[in-house]
Amino acid sequence: MSATILDGNRIAGEIRAEVAAEVKALSSAGIRPGLAVVLVGHNPASEIYVRGKVKSCEEVGIYSEKLTPVDSITTEELLELVEDLNRRDDIDGILVQLPLPAQVDAKKILMAVDPAKDVDGFHPVNVGFLSTQRPGLVPCTPAGIMEILKRSNIPLASQEAVVVGRSDIVGKPIAMLLINANATVTVCHSKTRDLPGVCRRADILVAAIGRAGMITPDFVKPGATVIDVGMNKVTERAEFDRLFAGNAKREETFRTKGSTLVGDVHPQVAAVAGAITPVPGGVGPLTIAMLMANTVRAAKLRRSQLLATNN
Q: Is residue 301 part of a domain?
A: no
pLDDT number for residue 43:
84
53 flagged as catalytic: yes
246 has a pLDDT exceeding 70:
yes
Q: Which position among 53, 117, 172, 221 bears the catalytic label?
A: 53
Domain that holds residue 275: 140-286
Q: Where are the beta strands (DSSP E) in 31-171?
A: 34-38, 63-67, 93-96, 160-164
Q: Is residue 20 part of a domain?
A: no
Q: Are residues 224 and 109 in the same domain?
A: no
pLDDT number for residue 42:
85
pLDDT number for residue 44:
86
Q: Is residue 256 part of a domain?
A: yes
pLDDT number for residue 46:
87
Q: Are residues 280 and 167 in the same domain?
A: yes
Q: Is residue 275 part of a domain?
A: yes
Q: Is residue 123 part of a domain?
A: no
pLDDT in tens, 30-88: 999 999 999 998 888 888 889 999 999 999 999 999 999 999 999 999 999 999 999 99
Residues of the chain with pLDDT > 70: what percent?
97
CATH number, domain containing residue 111 = 3.40.50.10860
CATH number, domain containing residue 189 = 3.40.50.720
Termini Cα distance of the chain: 52
pLDDT number for residue 49:
87
* pLDDT bracket for residue 307 (50, 70, 90): low
Per the structure, the count of domains in the chain is 2
Q: Is residue 66 part of a domain?
A: yes
Q: Which residues of 249-285 are buried (b: 16+ CB within 10 A; e: fewer)?
A: ebeeebeeeeebbbbbbbbebbebbbbbbbbebbbbb
Q: Is residue 298 part of a domain?
A: no
Q: Are residues 68 and 146 in the same domain?
A: no
108 flagged as catalytic: no
Q: Are residues 59 and 172 in the same domain?
A: no
Q: Is residue 309 part of a domain?
A: no
Q: Which position among 92, 114, 118, 120 bears the catalytic label?
A: 120
Q: Are residues 162 and 229 in the same domain?
A: yes
84 flagged as catalytic: no
Close Cβ partners of 114 (under 8 Å, ≥ 6 residues apart): 86, 94
